[in-house]
């Protein structure tokens, strides 16, 4: 039986394993070709620690960063699908349990919102009503 994600060390294991796969993934690797891993990995540990354990350790704005990334290297439906598949595969190979399920849900929902906002931004324009 696999263990659940309970410590920061578990998060580091998950994030490291995910990016090891990303580095050789035919769809995703090119996005990360120039990444400074020494900087990126600790940010991702903080992001996932905050997402799963509400520690307040991550204060960035991933949505904005990925919108910028999309202008430099276009993101597609296929890229988001590959990201979700790889993340969920890594997660379920290593862990199981309540926090693991939460990580799966969060990954899928954040990736889905990110995809919709980036690929279909027109759907997020809120039209003010003219009547009072
Ligand atoms: C097709 C999907 C995705 C691609 C190609 C992608 C790629 C990237 C790249 C290239 C960076 C910048 C690394 C650097 O230069 O430091 C980054 C940062 C990041 N990504 Fe993604 N990403 C994707 C989806 C996601 C999703 C779904 C999440 C969250 C669940 C996520 C969370 C983050 C975070 C937290 C950062 C660091 C932001 C910061 O600097 O504060 N990414 N991503």
Atom of ligand 1 nearest to the CA of 58: 41
Q: Using CA atoms, how far apart are residues 55 and 46, in angstroms rounded to an integer?
A: 8
Structure tokens at 37: 């891993």
Ligand 1 pocket check for 103: Cβ under 6 Å: no
CA 31 to ligand 1 center in whole angstroms: 9
CA 124 to ligand 1 center in whole angstroms: 21
Q: How many CB atoms lie within 10 A of CB 90?
A: 21
Per-residue DSSP letter, 122? G
- The pLDDT of 100-121, averaged and rounded, is 96
Nearest to 27 by CA among 93, 87, 106: 87
CA 72 to ligand 1 center in whole angstroms: 14
pLDDT-derived band at 125, boundaries 50, 70, 90:
confident
Mutate which of 65, 79, 102 for ligand 1? The one with the most ligand atoms within 8 Å of its CB, which is 65
Q: Using CA atoms, how far apart are residues 89 and 78, in angstroms rounded to an integer?
A: 16
Q: Which residues contact 35 (CB under 8 A, 6 or more apart)?
A: none
Give the pLDDT confidence score for residue 131 in this predicted structure: 67
pLDDT-derived band at 124, boundaries 50, 70, 90:
confident
- The pLDDT of 41-62, averaged and rounded, is 96
Question: Helix (H, G, I), strand (E, B), or coil: what is residue 57?
Answer: coil
pTM (predicted TM-score): 0.94
For residues 48 and 103, is the Cβ–Cβ distance under 8 A? yes
Ligand 1 pocket check for 22: Cβ under 6 Å: no
Structure tokens at 5: 């994600």
């Amino acid at each position: 039986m696999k263990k659940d994600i309970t410590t920061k060390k578990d998060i580091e294991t998950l994030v490291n394993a995910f990016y090891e796969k990303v580095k050789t993934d035919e769809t995703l690797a090119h996005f990360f070709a120039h990444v400074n891993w020494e900087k990126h990995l600790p940010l991702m540990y903080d992001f996932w620690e905050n997402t799963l354990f509400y520690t307040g350790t991550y204060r960035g704005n991933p949505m904005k960063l990925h919108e910028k990334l999309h202008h430099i290297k276009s993101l597609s439906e296929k890229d988001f699908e590959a990201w979700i598949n790889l993340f969920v595969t890594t997660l379920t190979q290593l862990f199981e349990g309540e926090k693991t399920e939460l990580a799966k849900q969060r990954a899928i929902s954040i990736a889905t919102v990110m995809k919709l906002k980036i690929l279909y931004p027109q759907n997020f324009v809120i039209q003010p009503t003219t009547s009072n």
